[in-house]
Chains A and B, each alone.
Chain A
Amino acid sequence: MDNGDRILLNHIQKGFPVTSRPFQEVGGWLNMTEEEVLERLRRLSQEGYLSRFGPVLNPRRLGGNSTLAAMMVPQERLEVAIAAVNGHPQVSHNYLREHPFNLWFVVSAESEAVIQGVLAEIEEETGLAVINLPMEEEYFVEVNFQFEVDNP
């Protein structure tokens, strides 16, 4: 990843244009051609530096819901539990953490009923209890990773 990549990522985490030629517009901000912007993003994606490029949805506003769930998984059952959790398309994030509650995942779906179904299935598939930790109140969320760039 070079300086140009970092500058690009810094600029397109939010406010990506919704216009006919959005990459050309971004190029205009950064003194890059449309093709250069696209090439950089393709490469960053292939190399694993870009998780996703597209919309970040708000399931709640779309009639659905989202929740955080956690499990205490004994070491010897970890591989199976991870596969079980990851196997559900409604699981959008899954992290291993250092704590007795070691598996933490986000379930998002178009309805609460689907979410409850997924949590129940995971319990059944793994034989382990899942604690459901839905948000009761949200206090300002802003995810924006600004990377250090070398200024000439």
Chain B
Amino acid sequence: MAVEIERRLILAIQGGLPLVPQPYLAVARELGITEEEVIILIDGMLADGRIKRIGAVPNHYALGIIANGMSVWNVPDHQVAEVGRRMGQLPVVTHCYRRPRRPPHWPYNLFAMVHGYSREDVLVTVDGIARELELEGLPREVIFSTQLLKKTGVRFQEGWASLGRAGLAASSGD
């Protein structure tokens, strides 16, 4: 999944890139390789999707997009793939996943995140999704967040970089 230098690079940048004129040079110095090597490694991981993107992750909450509505739906199993695919393509939906139901308390199997400037905004949007995809009869809820308690991004542990081949096989969960 990733060779040792790639893992060391991920560990070095997972907390963020330094805000200096040559950020990749700064990382290179930390790793004992060249700036060009860092750039080539990162480009490689962007190309194959191990890094989804590099950029700013705004705190949308602080920027007025305070309504964070997690819409959850109970979609019949034989329809959920099709419904999910259509829902995921809607511009108003930022994340859309099928997840397991957890009876008795959690009956929903489809999640779609909808953000907006107000709860009313989000509720109107979700009503629109239900109408457009003909889901009005289905059990659903919109669950709003009231507080962001933590947001750090993915953090792998330091020991990950130096796992040997045996360690790799044991930890990959295959």
Residues of A within 8 A of B (CB): 1, 8-9, 12-16, 18-24, 34, 38, 41-42, 45, 48-59, 61-66, 68, 70, 72, 82, 85-86, 89-101, 104-105, 108-114, 131, 133-145, 147
- Chain B residues touching A, majority SS: mixed
Within the assembled complex, what's the spacing in Å between the Cα atoms of A66 and B154?
9
Q: Does B152 contact A (CB under 8 A)?
A: yes
Within the assembled complex, what's the spacing in Å between the Cα atoms of A64 and B174?
10
Interface size band for B: 35 or more
Question: Across the interface, which residues of A come within 8 angstroms of B126, CB to CB?
Answer: none
A-B contact pairs, 5 of them (CB 8 A): A15-B55, A49-B59, A56-B52, A59-B154, A92-B155
B114-128 interface bits toward A, Cβ cutoff 8 Å, 1 = contact, 0 = none: 010000000000000
Within the assembled complex, what's the spacing in Å between the Cα atoms of A102 and B49?
32
Q: Contact: B51 with A63, CB < 8 Å?
A: no
Within the assembled complex, what's the spacing in Å between the Cα atoms of A97 and B147?
7
Q: Contact: B55 with A12, CB < 8 Å?
A: yes
Q: Contact: B55 with A48, CB < 8 Å?
A: no
Expressed in whole angstroms, the minimum distance between the Cβ of A112 and any Cβ of chain B is 4
Question: Across the interface, which residues of B come within 8 angstroms of A139, CB to CB?
Answer: 84-85, 87-89, 96-98
Q: Contact: B10 with A93, CB < 8 Å?
A: no
Within the assembled complex, what's the spacing in Å between the Cα atoms of A97 and B42?
36
Q: Contact: B48 with A82, CB < 8 Å?
A: no
Given the known interface contacts A42-B19, A89-B157, the answer about A133 and B102 at a Cβ–Cβ threshold of 8 Å is yes
Q: Contact: B59 with A63, CB < 8 Å?
A: no
Within 8 A of A (CB), among B70-95: 70, 81, 84-85, 87-89, 94-95
